[in-house]
Structure 1
Amino acid sequence: MNPDGTRWTLSEDVAIAGLKEGKWRFWTAGDKKSVWIVTAKSPSGREYLKAETDWVQPAKLLALPDCP
């Protein structure tokens, strides 16, 4: 949360850049354990975010509920 009570957000591109630069690390909790978020590259060359335990598709991230 921001000091004014609003939620902070990052675009996917900014999050990917921050991960690659070592500026940030992200994780999600599910199945009673934490999982790191990593970058991956599609066959077309587009980078995207996924859970470290996902194979190709970002299934764990896509299954998360939206933030209120």
Structure 2
Amino acid sequence: MPQQAQIKCINKDPREDRYNAITHVGGYTDRQWKITKDDAIGMIERREWEFFTMVRTHRVKVIVASRNGRKYLKTEADYDTPDNLLSLPECP
């Protein structure tokens, strides 16, 4: 069973398009963590980790999507906040 972690912050490159803007994701529990987008994608695809965000009281799963042959992270459609990841604060 994959481990689970809440993504609470991101780093992004504002010059990139919205599908490739996120460079890192991170969070904290008992300590801070931050990994690259590519590492997170690999962990999801290998079913080692499941990532999620919280929108108010709703848990929203982070998934891997692809556009023009490039993989990126996004949240499952929740019809509430379309840019859950991109709206998170910057990681330190």
TM, length-normalised to structure 1: 0.76
Unpaired stretches in structure 2, ≥5 consecutive residues = 1-27
CA displacement at 1:60 relative to structure 2: 1.1
7, 21, 33: which one pairs with 1:8? 33
Map of 1:41 onto structure 2: 66
Query: If you compute each CA radius of gyration, which structure gives the higher value, 1 or 2?
Result: 1
Within a 5 Å distance, the mapping from 1:1-68 to structure 2 comes to 1=28, 7-42=32-67, 44-53=68-77, 59-67=83-91
Structure with the higher fraction of residues in helix conformation: 1
How many Å separate the matches in 1 of 2:54 and 2:44?
18
Deviations 1:6-40 (A, max 9, x none): x2211000000000000000000003200000000
Whichever residue aligns with residue 70 of structure 2, its letter is R
Question: Matched residue pairs, number?
Answer: 63
When the two chains are superposed, the root-mean-square deviation of aligned CA atoms in Å is 2.6
Unpaired stretches in structure 1, ≥5 consecutive residues = none
Whichever residue aligns with residue 21 of structure 1, its letter is R
Query: Identity of counterpart residues, as a percentage?
Result: 37
Cα distance change, pair 2–63 in 1 and its aligned pair in 2 (3 A): closer
Structure with the higher fraction of residues in strand conformation: 2
